[in-house]
Amino acid sequence: MYYIVTGAAGFIGSNLVKALNERGETNIIAVDNLKKADKFRNLVDCDIADYLDKEEFLDKLESGFFDGLLAGVLHEGACSDTMEADGRYMMQNNYQYSLELLNYCQSEEVPLLYASSASVYGAGPQFRESRENESPLNVYAYSKFLFDQIVRRRWNKRTAQIVGFRYFNVYGAREQHKGRMASVAFHFFNQYRAEGYVKLFEGCDGYANGGQLRDFVSVEDVVKVNMHFLENPGKSGIFNLGTGKAQSFNDVAVTTINTLRLAKGEAALTLEEMHSHELIRYIPFPDALKGKYQSYTQADMAALRATGYVEPFLTVEQGVARYVSQLLQTAG
């Protein structure tokens, strides 16, 4: 039996492939689109049984090639660019692709774990997995929102496990290929090493400079939750996957800078000291993001906790420090 991981060369997908390897699973079919060829690096230290381009995979799926061969599908493949303006492309790549997998997995009684997104909540302020709290601000968020609605419509007729994860702001290893869509921790790390300071947005929506709040979650925790559901095939649902605690962009910047300073034998500084030394600088809030930006997110974790997942989540101070140390080690 095989596991399918879509988006396998991407950020979360490659971390899931590695986690399956650590569980002793090597019968993994990695599915992706390597138009951005550098993503292959995310799979170099992973063991897989085969690699398939997304289109070839869908053809084989339709032909029945995988019938009776699959233990589960971990579906991370999607366009994650929230600024993508081509709605037709977004709906085909995110919504239709997911729908084809859902149809197949239900017909073959195969577990499906898939990536949803906290972007479905729009401007909030409530972040609980309930229809009245959902109001997407862009077509990326709508593509995720619409698929969640289809899952809900079919809920009472499901034949196998279905789990959707509403990822909040994920950061961590194997995201270097994402360019401007990489986490702020990744960008702060590179900015500080190259320029000696980091850049944050000025305040908006009533928040102070750098004071916008997001639920930043380590990819390490994201992987643990995915594995929890693989180990509990009787549990299904659409779940928030954050930490349950919003922290500011300033917190991420301070942790990133202090981790880099400590690595050089320099003393840690407070946010105020970083301001005075101009290690943190604020730039105008982009016009293109106005009305499309989540200034506050904080996952309601009650539903996930009710499934029996009891592990603590890494805070920004813990997770970002660990990630920056990993980046430093990789950079030499």
Could you say which of 18, 54, 60, 178 is catalytic?
Answer: 178
- What is the number of other CB atoms lying within 10 angstroms of the CB of residue 272? 9
Q: Is the dihedral of CA 178, 184, 186, 187 positive or negative?
A: positive
Residues 224 and 215: their CA atoms lie apart, in Å, by: 17
Q: What is the distance of C-alpha 141 from the center of its chain? A: 13
Could you say which of 114, 140, 142, 171 is catalytic?
Answer: 140
Work out whether strand 247-248 and strand 213-214 pair parallel, antiparallel, or are unpaired.
antiparallel
36 labelled catalytic: no
Task: Output the six-digit token pair for 139.
Answer: 């077509």
Alpha helices by DSSP H, listed for 70-218, are 87-90, 97-108, 139-153, 184-195
Evaluate whether 16 touches 74 at the Cβ level (below 8 Å): yes
60 labelled catalytic: no
Query: Which residues are catalytic, by number?
Result: 140, 178
